[in-house]
Amino acid sequence: MKIAIKSITMTAICLALTFTAQAHEKVGEKIEITKYKDRITTFKTDGISVTNPFARQAKKGQNSAAFVKVTNLTETPRKIIRAISPVASIIELHTSFEENGIHKMRPVEAIDVPENGFVELKSGGFHVMLIGLKEDLVVGQHIPVTLELDNGTTIQTTYKVKGCCGHCHAPKK
């Protein structure tokens, strides 16, 4: 339960920070990389694009979370069914919610990506939970995270590590 409590605290504090992603997409290209103001990056595979991937700074042994906007440019609804990364011992798909005024989160089986639509993994909502980091995640570092979809498509992207409110992962006194 220790991990769960830490995670909940982290999400609650991170909730204030949201990032607006802008997609720069062209239909018909298998893979595309676009940079925008050095922080918006789009990778596209099989009609699915991921935009502005980033993760939160945290220490080895702690938890972190990864966020990205996933856009489905096809006519078929898709689901994100798994996330994979070498940086953490356990990786889960999570959703965040509020209960009795407290921010909580729980694992979900899958995250829907509607046809001709998108889902945004962001603070206070869906996210990739990185549980038990094998190494420090340092601001500016890029970590690999792969999303697997229900049709077998995998999208491997690097997620830029960003700071978290300045105090989110401060050691406990």
Residue from the set 44, 56, 78, 94 that interacts with Cu ion by CB under 5 A: 94
Distance CA 45, CA 47 (A): 6
Interface with Cu ion (CB under 5 A), residue total 3
Closest by CA position to 48, among listed 66, 69, 67, 65: 69
CB of 112 to Cu ion, least distance (A): 18
Closest by CA position to 154, among listed 65, 85, 67, 74: 85
Distance CA 92, CA 115 (A): 23
CB of 162 to Cu ion, least distance (A): 16
| 44 near Cu ion (CB under 5 A) | no
CB of 8 to Cu ion, least distance (A): 8
Q: What is the largest CA-CA distance in the chain?
A: 53
| 129 near Cu ion (CB under 5 A) | yes
CB of 14 to Cu ion, least distance (A): 10
Strands 40-45 and 127-133: unpaired
Residue (94 or 122) nearer to Cu ion, CB: 94
Distance CA 69, CA 1 (A): 30
> Which residue is at the shortest CB distance from Cu ion?
94
Rg (CA), the chain: 15
Percent of the chain that is helix, strand, coil (3-state, to 5):
10, 50, 45
Binding residues for Cu ion restricted to 99-118, rule: CB under 5 A: 105
CB of 111 to Cu ion, least distance (A): 12
Residue (55 or 105) nearer to Cu ion, CB: 105
**Binding span for Cu ion by CB under 5 A among 12-20, 22-30, 129-137, 160-168:** 129-137
Footprint of Cu ion (CB under 5 A): 94, 105, 129
